[in-house]
Amino acid sequence: MKHDKIVDYVCDECGSENIYKDATATWSVAHQRMVLASTQDNGWCEDCGYESGSGVGEEIVVEKLIICDKKLRGK
């Protein structure tokens, strides 16, 4: 799957990227781990406590992706 843009979500209230959504996971025998099955509308910001029943966060386009986690960089 090719992505034309990289997106991120920020809190509608404080602008934080530290937002969460309710989700459902299911066990994958093939991957031997839990995998995301669906996401729900409920969401919240860990920094300011803002909660939304219609989805939390505003989608923004990220110009450049910087990977700080060594595991994600493959090192």
Reading the chain (75 residues) residue by residue, the pLDDT tens digits are 455 677 788 888 888 889 888 899 999 999 999 999 998 888 889 999 988 876 555 656 655 545 555 555 454
pLDDT of residue 28: 95
Cα gap 72→67, rounded to integer Å: 7
Residue-level pLDDT at 13: 85
pTM of full prediction above 0.85: no
The residue extents of the domains of the chain are 6-73
51: left (phi over 0), alpha (psi -120 to 50) or beta: beta
Q: Give the model's pLDDT for residue 12.
A: 84
Task: Give the integer Cα–Cα distance in Å for 2 and 7.
Answer: 13
